[in-house]
Amino acid sequence: MMNKISYFRCFLIGTMLSAFSFSSLAQSVIIPIESKSNAIVLQAKQGSIPKVVYFGTRLPNKDEYSKISAQYRQGTDYSGIFNAAYTPSGSRNLIEPAISVTHADGNNSLDLGYVSHETRTLGNGVSETLVILKDPAYPFQVSLHYKVYANEDVVEQWTTIRHQEKKPVVLHKYASANLFLKANSYWLRQYHGDWAKEMQPEESKLTYGIKTLDSKLGTRAHLYQPPVFMISFDNPSMEDQGSVLYGQVEWSGNFRVDLELDPLNNLHITAGANNHASDYSLKPKEEFKTPVFLYTFSDKGKGDASRKLHRWARNYRILEGNGERLTLLNNWESTFFNFTETKLAQLLKDTRKLGVDLFLLDDGWFGNKFPRNSDNAGLGDWQENRQKLPGGIASLVKEADANGVKFGIWLEPEMVNPKSELYLKHPDWIIKQPNREEYLYRNQLVLDLSNPKVQDFVFNTVDGLFSMKNSPAYIKWDCNAVIYNAYSSHLSNQSHLYLDYVQGLYNVLERIRAKYPKIPMMLCSGGGGRVDYAALKYFTEFWPSDNTDPLERIFIQWEYSHFYPAIVSANHVTDWGKQAIKFKTDVAMSGKLGYDIDIAHLNEKDLQFSQEAVQTYNSIKHLVWHGDQYRLLDPWTNDVSAMMYSNDTGTSAVMFSYLVGNRYGDESKSPIPLKGLDPQKNYRISEINLYPGSKSAVDSNATYSGSFLMKVGINPVINSGRKSVVLQITEIKN
């Protein structure tokens, strides 16, 4: 779709800007980078750094962009480049730069002047604008790339850097983008976390100076802080109103986002890979491509921004974003490392009994000299444990087949336990300081993916599994350790390690996808320690958190839902939490449903409920996976939380509602207004996923207009006896 490339030179609009002198006026060009609803407008003049003159809702008349600057009277910034489209360091800049270098001659200054720009259309509403900048004093070139997905109002921005100096130039900072925003005030919604506490939000008004969001963890880099954030303009963020910008660094490693409120009250967002301990020595003529910074803007609040981003993600990014998914039964929490072939044979039968599509064998199936019977041995030795699995993976695949289900398998191919054959054989493949004691995370170390031999090893591990005659149909790709003692015995330049590691990972994933384009893979990192849109190009789903207590999950899934569509959110019913299985299932069903419980331990009614739930899920999963998502009631501020999905014609929808308050009398006192329906259509509402023997409190014979449902709403009758309710909303055709 996107390889149909046709180039159109963008006409340079020599527009006179009243705020500038006559000599500049004649040479100024306006570069509008527009999507369906939004625009970023640059103003450029030969030899000077392009300036951002507008960022926001698109104006119907392009000619008016040139009048915007004159309407601001914020004072002087002294440098004249506060609003640079990409701020260089060491010349006139007085604020956080986007780029900082040491030239081959040792000079630290950089100036960037506009040379040219062009826009090429890539088809399907996608275009790329390229703006070329050069240092007037050095043969050093920076190109700004803006890839615009017009229909979804999403922009991907990155930078390429090259030079023709006599020796390498050291890049100290190399942001993907720096945005320049104007509002009266700015509110940042950021996230922090840890294992089992992913996506904890915090929203605050930005104050003058710099706020940095970053990671220095290397591999599961997003554990403490994910690379996503949002900025709302003038007010705290709202679901259906107000201007909001969502941002994300597409990079599965160390990232850095600086949010600088300058003295004139402009907000600068400088985002990219983290330059911490990562000077990059760029050889003459070599091209350095930064990761992508992704953003979307909406003047209709968070809900609209999310739906646009979800659409973009499904259409352009997530592997099989508009495709199917496999429901599954995982054995991690029911067996941990403790299983035998006989036990697995039973679990395969249970998979069939439950009615899900696939059985996922988790950690513990490998290692012989150092069997993987706990997390302190075996990682790296990817051969079936002969004692546990005498028949090997192939026999399990056959057994799965005989049960009419598919078979998936867990891998953590980037890691090694010191107690492993791999560790003994290839000490030089491991990231560790030569002169220091090893420091372990979960008893393991990280393999050096900057080394092509290690990349081959990881690729061959996956290839070995997928190319077997009876091969698994799914992989859960885990990554549990961070990088300590960052040192590669392969690299001559140690400050390249953090960048080259991630690039090495992408090289492997590219190779896997070239050979196995569609096999589903779950992105897991001890929970959600590594999810971003660069990684999701290769994965069909991700594991948001090991915390599957459904009450906790309502909050975690809610926050992820701002940035990722439900089709990629793997939600499992487990033994975490004391809630009834109905509540757990209703929470898991609002994304990609899976199970991680011992089916044999379910009582008769719970089993019957679960079997029926899988069937029910099959009847609504397309709405959840491919529909538009509407957040209805925020769990942070209400006793009842609700979320719904509707199809694009507004004929069918499903609403999930949960009791999140636990005080006496907490219940759904008022109707919940729905969204995404057609006001003109009439609907019937029926409660689904009922526990065997229970009766619905919702009248399924009543009919309601879309207008009623969206203005007044419907009460799902949530209370301490009905803690979760799933409603199906279906158009009644006359």
The phi, psi pair for 729, rounded to 5°, reads -115, 120
Q: Is 546 in the site for ligand DGJ (CB under 6 A)?
A: yes
Stretch that binds ligand DGJ, among 258-266, 377-385, 522-530, 615-623 (CB under 6 A): 522-530
Residue 512, Ramachandran bin (φ over 0: left; ψ between -120 and 50: alpha; else beta): alpha
The phi, psi pair for 18, rounded to 5°, reads -60, -25
By rule CB under 6 A, what string of x and - marks binding of each residue 480-509 to ligand DGJ?
A: x-----------------------------
Nearer of residues 269 and 481 to ligand DGJ, judged by Cβ = 481
Least Å distance, CB 518 to ligand DGJ, is: 23
- The per-residue DSSP string of 237-296 comes to --SSSB-EEEEEEE-SS-EEEEEEE-TTSEEEEEEEE--TT--EEEPTT--EEPPEEEEE
* C-alpha distances in Å from residue 535, one per residue of 200, 477, 524, 561, 569: 21, 11, 11, 17, 14
Least Å distance, CB 43 to ligand DGJ, is: 49
Q: Is 478 in the site for ligand DGJ (CB under 6 A)?
A: yes
Contact 226, 197 (CB under 8 A): no
Least Å distance, CB 574 to ligand DGJ, is: 10
Strand 209-214 relative to strand 154-163, pairing: unpaired
Quote the CA–CA distance of 215 and 236 in Å, as a whole number: 25
- SS3 state of residue 457: helix
- SS3 state of residue 53: strand
Calculate the dihedral angle through the C-alpha atoms of 528, 436, 487, 250, rounding to the nearest 10 degrees. Answer: 20
Least Å distance, CB 589 to ligand DGJ, is: 19
Site for ligand DGJ in 278-337 (CB under 6 A): 332
Query: Which of 321, 378, 527, 676 is the binder for ligand DGJ (CB under 6 A)?
Result: 527
Q: Is 183 in the site for ligand DGJ (CB under 6 A)?
A: no
Query: Which of 39, 257, 524, 690 is the binder for ligand DGJ (CB under 6 A)?
Result: 524
Least Å distance, CB 379 to ligand DGJ, is: 9
Eight-class DSSP state of 694: -
Least Å distance, CB 468 to ligand DGJ, is: 22
Nearer of residues 258 and 478 to ligand DGJ, judged by Cβ = 478
Query: Which of 260, 363, 448, 639 is the binder for ligand DGJ (CB under 6 A)?
Result: 363
Least Å distance, CB 661 to ligand DGJ, is: 29
Nearer of residues 332 and 429 to ligand DGJ, judged by Cβ = 332
Nearer of residues 195 and 691 to ligand DGJ, judged by Cβ = 195
Q: Which helix (H) or strand (E) holds 492?
A: none
Nearer of residues 333 and 463 to ligand DGJ, judged by Cβ = 333
Quote the CA–CA distance of 155 and 729 in Å, as a whole number: 34
Eight-class DSSP state of 673: -
Tokens matching residue 188: 């940042």
Q: Among all chains, which residue has been given the structure tokens 């994910």?
A: 226
Intra-chain end-to-end CA distance of the chain, in Å: 39
Closest residue to ligand DGJ, Cβ-based? 363
Quote the CA–CA distance of 356 and 346 in Å, as a whole number: 15
Least Å distance, CB 341 to ligand DGJ, is: 19
* C-alpha distances in Å from residue 155, one per residue of 130, 315, 602: 13, 14, 48
Least Å distance, CB 438 to ligand DGJ, is: 20
Q: Which amino acid is at 196?
A: A
Quote the CA–CA distance of 161 and 177 in Å, as a whole number: 12
Stretch that binds ligand DGJ, among 94-102, 129-137, 377-385, 520-528 (CB under 6 A): 520-528
Q: Is 34 in the site for ligand DGJ (CB under 6 A)?
A: no
Stretch that binds ligand DGJ, among 65-73, 521-529, 692-700, 706-714 (CB under 6 A): 521-529
C-alpha closest to that of 729 among 640, 690, 558, 709? 709
Q: Which amino acid is at 7?
A: Y
Quote the CA–CA distance of 400 and 393 in Å, as a whole number: 10
Q: Is 113 in the site for ligand DGJ (CB under 6 A)?
A: no
Least Å distance, CB 416 to ligand DGJ, is: 14
Nearer of residues 332 and 630 to ligand DGJ, judged by Cβ = 332
Nearer of residues 546 and 559 to ligand DGJ, judged by Cβ = 546
Nearer of residues 186 and 332 to ligand DGJ, judged by Cβ = 332
Stretch that binds ligand DGJ, among 27-35, 245-253, 524-532, 609-617 (CB under 6 A): 524-532
Contact 312, 154 (CB under 8 A): yes
Nearer of residues 430 and 524 to ligand DGJ, judged by Cβ = 524
Nearer of residues 34 and 362 to ligand DGJ, judged by Cβ = 362
Nearer of residues 235 and 374 to ligand DGJ, judged by Cβ = 374
The phi, psi pair for 508, rounded to 5°, reads -65, -45
Site for ligand DGJ in 373-412 (CB under 6 A): 410
Nearer of residues 413 and 676 to ligand DGJ, judged by Cβ = 413
Quote the CA–CA distance of 213 and 227 in Å, as a whole number: 8
- SS3 state of residue 69: helix
Q: Is 414 in the site for ligand DGJ (CB under 6 A)?
A: no
Quote the CA–CA distance of 118 and 341 in Å, as a whole number: 61
Least Å distance, CB 546 to ligand DGJ, is: 5
With CB under 6 A as the rule, give the number of residues binding ligand DGJ: 11
Nearer of residues 229 and 332 to ligand DGJ, judged by Cβ = 332
Least Å distance, CB 175 to ligand DGJ, is: 32
Q: Is 526 in the site for ligand DGJ (CB under 6 A)?
A: yes
By rule CB under 6 A, what string of x and - marks binding of each residue 329-348 to ligand DGJ?
A: ---x----------------
Least Å distance, CB 649 to ligand DGJ, is: 37
By rule CB under 6 A, what string of x and - marks binding of each residue 683-722 to ligand DGJ?
A: ----------------------------------------
Least Å distance, CB 287 to ligand DGJ, is: 37
Nearer of residues 222 and 302 to ligand DGJ, judged by Cβ = 222
Stretch that binds ligand DGJ, among 519-527, 580-588, 607-615, 684-692 (CB under 6 A): 519-527
What are the DSSP E strand ranges found in 517-646?
Answer: 521-523, 541-542, 570-574, 592-596, 628-633, 640-646
Nearer of residues 96 and 363 to ligand DGJ, judged by Cβ = 363
Calculate the dihedral angle through the C-alpha atoms of 107, 110, 114, 118, rounding to the nearest 10 degrees. Answer: 90
Q: Report H helices in 387-496.
A: 392-402, 421-425, 452-466
Q: How many residues does the chain have?
A: 734
- Expressed in percent and rounded to 5, the helix, strand and coil fractions of the chain are 25, 30, 45
Nearer of residues 186 and 410 to ligand DGJ, judged by Cβ = 410
Least Å distance, CB 375 to ligand DGJ, is: 6
Contact 394, 468 (CB under 8 A): yes
Contact 76, 243 (CB under 8 A): no
Least Å distance, CB 598 to ligand DGJ, is: 16
C-alpha closest to that of 189 among 178, 176, 199, 177? 199
The residue ranges that bind ligand DGJ (CB under 6 A) are 332, 362-363, 410, 478, 480, 524, 526-527, 543, 546
